[in-house]
């Protein structure tokens, strides 16, 4: 029997559903005269640019795998590029095709890094740090696009963004080399928290010491730090180049500033977990960004967005699930332990 809350707010679902249906009908009515031309663009592709599009997406995925590999190397975990790329493809396939895919994807990556010998701290640190670096790279692209388009964002903001990425890497390097400075700060914070919660001043100190002792195994030196920053840039710029190649593949000539802004907007909207892979709303954002920002005709914007999503979403997902089926399908005796460990860390 449905509870009173469900019946009371059932009308909200009907209103939202009707609004989405109206939006889709409106988009269909607006785009229908141009869909024939968009289809014609897709049947008259420049295949050399299609190959460039695929190659750039592969380079982007490889760049992210290099980031993961370097971060694990800083934690004393040695893994070859082939296995790192395989995990990136498998995790991406989960993230873009499954409901709540980000949770499954993160758990899968955590489990594999633990299999490679990473401690719980190193495995978690790698996930967090790689995500932060990728987000910083996306923000940098957005600022760069705003500067190129002549927005109010000036060179000063661009320099600040670059300095932010560099400071992030240097901070990780400093903390890994000077855990004592971090320990004293965290002990002060812990004492303040315990005072507010009216607990003994030393409550949690043993757990903090254990965590920091494991964190000392992370040695993000200058070489690893610069490599992480460099491969993070490769990851993002290769993905932008993939979108640009998709535009050229359908005969379009996009403006660079608009291309950067369309890409940034699409990725930002895609982080909202409304639907697997951001189906519909990411595509609509890309089409709008390419039309308004990159100044493409609607027919070319629709065709370019379709080509980019075909490569970056559909093709990557297919490859990822094939890789998963051949390399990660069989479970290990420790998988249940790692799953429970991940859930405990996620819900803390």
- Dig out the tokens for 266 from the structure: 């699409």
Q: Which residues of the chain form beta strands (DSSP E)?
A: none
Q: List all residues 6 or more positions away from 161 whose beta carbon is below 8 Å from its beta carbon.
A: 136, 139, 140, 143
- The one-digit pLDDT tens for each residue of the chain (348 residues) are 445 544 555 666 566 566 656 655 665 565 555 555 555 666 678 899 999 999 999 999 999 999 999 999 888 889 999 999 999 999 999 998 888 788 889 889 999 998 898 888 888 878 878 887 887 777 777 766 666 665 444 455 545 555 555 565 555 555 555 555 556 666 777 677 777 777 777 676 666 665 565 555 566 677 877 888 889 989 999 999 999 999 999 988 998 888 988 898 888 888 777 777 777 778 888 888 898 888 888 888 888 998 999 899 989 999 999 999 998 876 665 655 566 665 555 555
Question: Where along the chain do its domains lie?
Answer: 47-121+237-329
C-beta of residue 224 within 8 angstroms of C-beta of residue 106:
no
pTM over 0.75: no
Q: List all residues 6 or more positions away from 71 whose beta carbon is below 8 Å from its beta carbon.
A: 125, 126, 129, 130, 220, 224, 228
């Amino acid at each position: 029997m449905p509870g009173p809350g469900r019946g009371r707010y059932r009308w909200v679902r009907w209103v939202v559903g009707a609004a989405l249906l109206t939006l889709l009908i409106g988009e269909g009515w607006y785009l229908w005269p141009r869909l024939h031309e968009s289809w014609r663009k897709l049947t008259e592709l420049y295949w050399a640019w299609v190959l460039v599009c695929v190659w750039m997406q592969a380079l982007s995925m490889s760049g992210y795998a290099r980031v993961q590999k370097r971060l694990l190397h800083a934690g004393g975990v040695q893994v070859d590029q082939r296995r790192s790329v395989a995990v990136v493809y498998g995790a991406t396939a989960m993230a873009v095709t499954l409901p709540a895919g980000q949770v499954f994807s993160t758990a899968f990556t955590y489990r594999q890094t633990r299999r490679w010998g990473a401690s719980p701290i190193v495995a978690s640190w790698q996930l967090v740090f790689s995500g932060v670096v990728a987000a910083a790279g996306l923000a940098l692209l957005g600022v760069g696009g705003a500067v190129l388009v002549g927005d109010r964002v000036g060179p000063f903001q661009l320099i600040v963004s670059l300095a932010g990425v560099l400071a992030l890497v240097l901070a990780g390097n400093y903390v890994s080399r000077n855990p004592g400075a971090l320990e004293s700060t965290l002990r002060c914070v812990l004492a303040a928290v315990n005072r507010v919660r009216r607990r003994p001043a030393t409550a949690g100190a043993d757990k903090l010491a254990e965590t920091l002792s494991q964190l000392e195994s992370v040695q993000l030196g200058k070489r690893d730090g610069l490599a992480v920053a460099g491969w993070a840039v490769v990851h993002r710029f290769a993905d932008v180049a993939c979108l640009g190649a998709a535009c050229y593949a359908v005969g379009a000539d996009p403006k660079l500033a608009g291309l950067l802004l369309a890409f940034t907007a699409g990725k930002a909207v895609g982080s909202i977990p409304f639907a697997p892979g951001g189906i519909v709303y990411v595509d609509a954002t890309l089409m709008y960004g390419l039309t308004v920002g990159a100044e493409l005709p609607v027919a070319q914007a629709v065709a370019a967005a379709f080509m980019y999503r075909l490569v970056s979403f559909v093709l990557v997902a297919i490859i990822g699930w094939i890789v998963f089926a051949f390399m990660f399908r069989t479970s290990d005796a420790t998988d249940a332990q790692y799953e429970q460990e991940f859930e405990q860390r996620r819900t803390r």
